[in-house]
Structures are given as structure tokens and as C-alpha cells.
Amino acid sequence: MTDCLTNHPNCPKPYVGNSSHASRLPRRLLEVTNGKVVLREESVHKRHPYACLSHCWGPSPRRPESTILKAKRTTIEQFKVEVPWAELTKTFQDAIDICRRLHIDFLWIDSLCILQDSSEDWSLNATEVGSIYENALITIAASKSKEGCQGCYCRTDARHLARLVDGSKDVYVRLKPPSYPVHDFHLDLDNFPLLDRAWVYQEMHLSVRVLHFCSQEVMWSCRCMRRSESGVSDDDATDQVEFLSDLHGWDPSWKTLGKIGQEDPRALWYRTVEEYTRLHISYPSDIFPALAALTQRMYRLRPHDAFLAGLWKSTLLIDLMWRTPVGPQSARPAIWRAPSWSWASVQVQVAWDLRIGSVFGVVELLGIHCDTKGPPELGNFSSSQDEVRIDLRAPVLKATWKRPWIRSRWPELVRTAEMKDGKMDVNRYYPDYDYDLPGEHHVPWDSEVLVVPIATSTLIPDRVNRDGPDNNLHLGLVLRAREKHSVYERIGYVEIVEDHVIVDWSREGFQSRFGRVDAILRAMPRQEITIV
């Protein structure tokens, strides 16, 4: 930590004292000196650095010892005198012990520093969580623990400790401990359950220095390097640095793979949402607040833009083209939390195809109605779910949702929708959720749906003529009618082609087919539709 504070130019020092950044400091902190734990208001701790705790809340209903202590209106005055040690979970007790060992006098724990029974206090602090983690001296991460009773500390398994090979004087052997999961597709939920939590995603990205207490060792991570006791997870060029260089505007002294986002904030946002939506969230209403800190920092790359239910106004039509993965789908959230055109309306990981080139030329955005109470990034919509909408004028194709006639190894290639107009068909169809589930979102077989072309994509790029037209695939949304006239909800994503069987796989073949489909779509009458 001393080396980082002294020698790492890309690792900012925490704000302390009466600086102009004092407003970025937490409103409350726990003082952990003199053998006591006391909740302090901001006027007391302004001049002191502090640590943050990143942890899984739990609890398990069958394990009362994992239930975490919370600050409430009825307990806050008691906490200002002393927080009862015996009522703290093992994770909280270990975090306090770590602070004392590092000579850090103050600690921020969300459940003890935010009033959990006050929506006003919670909303106020939710918008400041990013700054709280950014400005901490260090974040203590209980990375190995699924709940509060499991603590931070662990005893390393003997298999991971070096032992002398029989018959040798200087050859040692040990089992390699679990490596830190750098990318979201490397998530190791057995050894790093904390990293599966949606709230923790932004905590890890925004913390300058993190001390991970893992299942077999302790790891250090900052914006310049990662170090582990075993050396297995050591790295001087982490993907996190590249991500943060885009969000914070600083340029690291060395580069990592790709420059995602620095030239294109849209690609950075897509990557962020794709990683975030893979993670577990306990309360559906937290879908926007748990990402709010990163959303706020995205404004720095899009200073004149507007956040609209997880999408951005300046790129709204392209942003609409998110899709769910191939395979079994889940249900819509039991409680409405976002309009159907938002990725937050589904409960699975979403992704965008970065080959999307442009908006289909005849599609027109007529209006956006997405007002919120308070900051837009918290997603507290001020209108009813039927009034959070976008209005479009676009060509509309009628189609029928049909049961596949054959079980395929590649379900994304099954003909699940047949176009009735012209000779067009669907190459790939991605339902947003499981239509078979009962309830208001059930879509019966043979239902009529609409396909609205929105964008064009590059399926096979021109690698010779870089300036030539690359668009050779149309992309669209699948809509289902609501009770009101011309009001629809999104239920899927499609790729539109001339016919289903592709004979000519050459770039010229695709370009020719694209041109014929494009001409048909452009000649069709446009219809005004509302998507809620």
C-alpha cells in the first residue's frame, strides 16, 4: 500500500482534509479506534482516510449468525455511542481487525452507514456510492464469503503450501491456488462468490486499491498491478486499468488488449452492461441503482447525453438492439422494473453485436417518454409502465410465432418465425424471455407478431475495399400488441434475410441479398408505433 501511494501515478491518493473534494467523502463512517466501534457523522471524520468493506449481505434463513446488523432510525443514536461488537457478523469483525492492523481509523460499511429503513437516506447515499469507493484509502473485499458468518480470514489448505520433495534438498512443490478471475467469463463462484454480486461489480471497478481475502490467500489489486501471496495471480497489465482509463480519462503508462471504449463510449457501455447483467441481484428494483455509479461516470464520456432506462438518447435506436443468449430463457421479472425495450426488462445476460453499422435509414424516432423521480440513473420512473415509452415510424412486417418443426442442435437457427410479406425470413431469432410460462407475458403458439427493422449490420466485411459498403444484414425487434391501439411491447430480436436457406456464402452473395431485402423494406409503407 505504501508503494502504491508513493510510486503509482495512476492510483489516486484519497481525499482528506478540507479540500474542494470534501463533498465526495462519506456522510457517516465507523471509527474503530480505542477498542470500540462508533458511528461518526461527517463533521468528525473529514480529516481522516478510511477503508470500505465489500461483502455479501446474505443471510441464510437457517443461519441466524449470518444476519447482518443494520443502521435504522431506531438504532442510529445507539450506534453513535457504540456499535455492539457481539452483534456484528464475523465478516464485519474481521474487517475491523484488518483496519486496526493497517492503522486505518475509519471504516465504511454500507449496512451500518446508510439508514436501511429510510428511502430518502438510501437514495441520497446510493448516488454517492461510487465516490465513496473511489476515495477510500483501500477496499477490503471478503471475496471468499457468501454470507456474513464466513468472515474474511481463512486457513490455507496444506496442499497449497510448498513442501520439500522427498529426496531433494531444494525442490519444493505445491498445488496452485485458484487464480483471480480477470474477465466475467472466468468467474469462479466457488472460490470468489463475492464477485458474482451485481452491487460488487461497480465497487471493484471504482476502488483504487483492493485487498482481496480469498479462499486460499490474500491478493492485492490496484490500477497499476495485482499481487498475490502465491504469485499465481500477479499481473502488471490488468483489464480493469483499460476499463477505468476510459471512465476516468487518464491514460495508463502501459496498454492492455484492445482499446474498448476510448474511441467509442457506446462499446464501453455495451461491455459494461454485458458483464453486469451476468451477475446475481437479490432485489429486482436494484437493477439500476447497483450500476448507478458507473452510469454517472459514463456521463463524462457523454456530457450532453441523457440516460434512458439503461440506454442513451444519442444512440437510442442502436442501443435497442440488445439480445439475450441462445438457450433456455427465464421469465420476465415478477415486478415491473423497466420498459420492455430496455435490457433491464429481462433477467438474463444481454449482449450487443458490435458489427452493427447504422440505423436503418427509413426508421424515425418520433418521441421519448422516460421521466424519473430523482436522478435518471436510479431508474425511479415517475410514470406508469404504460407511459414509459418510445414512439417510432418504421416499416412493419407481420409474422407468426410458430413452434419449431425439428429439434436442432443450434436453436438459434431454428425457424421460429415466418415472414408473411415478400420473400423475407428470419436467420436467427432471439426471444427476450420464455414465452411458454403462464401469466401476462405468455405468447401462445401461432400468435401474430410484428417485426420492425431498426438497424443494419456487417456480417461479412469487405477486407479489400475498406471504403466500400459493408452492411449486409438487417436487424429488427419483435413486438407483440398490447390492448391499446398501436401500442406494443418488445419480445425479441431478429436478423432479417432474403430467405432462410443460404446458398451463396460469399460477401458478394450477402451484399446482393441485402440489397434486395433493403429495397423491399424501403418501399414498404411506414407505420407509427409505440413501444412500452
Domain limits, the chain: 2-156+187-248, 354-531
429 membership: H or E segment, kind and range = strand 425-431
Q: Angle CA(135)–CA(59)–CA(295) in degrees, nearest 5? A: 35
Q: Rounded to two decimals, what is the model's pTM? A: 0.86
Q: What is the DSSP letter of 372?
A: B
Quote the cell numbers at residue 297: 461516470
Quote the cell numbers at residue 471: 452492411
Nearest CA to 274 among 360, 403, 168, 183?
183
Q: Are 142 and 109 in contact (CB under 8 A)?
A: no
Owner of C-alpha cell 486457513: 155
Quote the cell numbers at residue 248: 476516468
pLDDT of residue 160: 73
pLDDT of residue 478: 93
pLDDT of residue 414: 37
pLDDT of residue 248: 45
Q: Are 406 and 298 in contact (CB under 8 A)?
A: no
Euclidean distance between CA atoms 171 and 49, whole angstroms:
44
pLDDT of residue 38: 97
Whole-angstrom CA distances from 388 to 43, 185, 269 are: 41, 33, 22
Phi, psi of 159 (to 5 degrees): -65, -25
Owner of C-alpha cell 467509442: 264
pLDDT of residue 261: 39
Sign of CA dihedral 267, 271, 276, 278: positive
DSSP notation for 177-226: PPPP--SGGG--TTT-GGGGBHHHHHHHHH-SEEEEE-SS-EEEEESS-E
pLDDT of residue 464: 40
pLDDT of residue 416: 41
Sign of CA dihedral 170, 175, 180, 183: positive
Quote the cell numbers at residue 214: 480469498
Nearest CA to 324 among 242, 400, 433?
433
Phi, psi of 124 (to 5 degrees): -65, -45
pLDDT of residue 436: 86
The per-residue pLDDT for range 419-471, each reduced to its tens digit, is 544 566 767 788 999 988 898 899 888 888 899 999 988 765 544 444 444 55
What is the side-by-side order of every strand in the sheet holding 218-222?
Answer: 38-41, 28-31, 106-108, 50-54, 138-141, 209-213, 218-222, 226-228
pLDDT of residue 308: 98
Cα of 422 vs its chain's centroid, Å: 40
3-state secondary structure of 115: coil
Q: Are 220 and 227 in contact (CB under 8 A)?
A: yes
Quote the cell numbers at residue 307: 440516460
- Taking only Cα atoms into account, the Rg of the chain, rounded to an integer number of angstroms, comes to 26
Ranges in the chain, pLDDT < 50? 65, 238, 243, 246, 248-263, 409-418, 420-421, 462-469
pLDDT of residue 353: 87
3-state secondary structure of 98: helix
Euclidean distance between CA atoms 367 and 170, whole angstroms:
73
Euclidean distance between CA atoms 26 and 461, whole angstroms:
50
pLDDT of residue 100: 98
Q: Angle CA(480)–CA(485)–CA(490) in degrees, nearest 5? A: 25
Task: Cis check for the bond before 444: say yes or no (omega within 30 of 0).
Answer: no
Q: Are 273 and 310 in contact (CB under 8 A)?
A: yes
Q: What is the DSSP letter of 332?
A: P
pLDDT of residue 240: 52
Euclidean distance between CA atoms 173 and 158, whole angstroms:
11
The proportion of the chain whose per-residue pLDDT surpasses 70, expressed as a percent, equals 79
Euclidean distance between CA atoms 416 and 406, whole angstroms:
10
